[in-house]
Amino acid sequence: MANKNIKQPQDFKRKASKAATNPKATQQDFLELLTSIREEKDLDQMQELFVSIFSMYGLTTDEVAALLFSTMRQVLHEQQNKDMLADKFSIDVTKLGAEGVLRVQRALLSAYLDKVNTNEA
């Protein structure tokens, strides 16, 4: 079941690309496919994929929680995100414990939902 707060799929369907249908696809074909996927950024599709992977591995809910937490922690430690949080909010992500990471995640989610709700209005 799709989360209505997550960006809904685009109004167009991805056309079968040369990369997906041609065993002799070129590097350019794959780059075009990757560009198309990145532009669509279908979060519902990504969510379905992640849930399928969790099920395939037989992860428990606490394992999923730990995985998603560590993923967010890793994303926050990417240099561009470290810099943005330090510059805009004076947050040093290297000093954040579990509660700090969760608070930053909550703030980012809140900002995202505000943006989505504004675009739907």
Instruction: For residue 34, give the H/E element and its range.
Output: helix 27-40
Model pTM?
Answer: 0.68
The conformation of residue 6, written as its DSSP 8-state character, comes to S
Task: For residue 114, give the amino acid letter.
Answer: D
Residue 12's pLDDT band (cuts 50, 70, 90): very low
pLDDT digits (tens, 9 = 90+) for 64-102: 999 999 999 999 999 999 999 999 999 999 999 999 999
Residue 68 CA to residue 40 CA, distance in Å, equals 23
Domain ranges for the chain, please list them: 23-58, 60-121
Q: What percent of the chain has pLDDT over 90?
A: 57
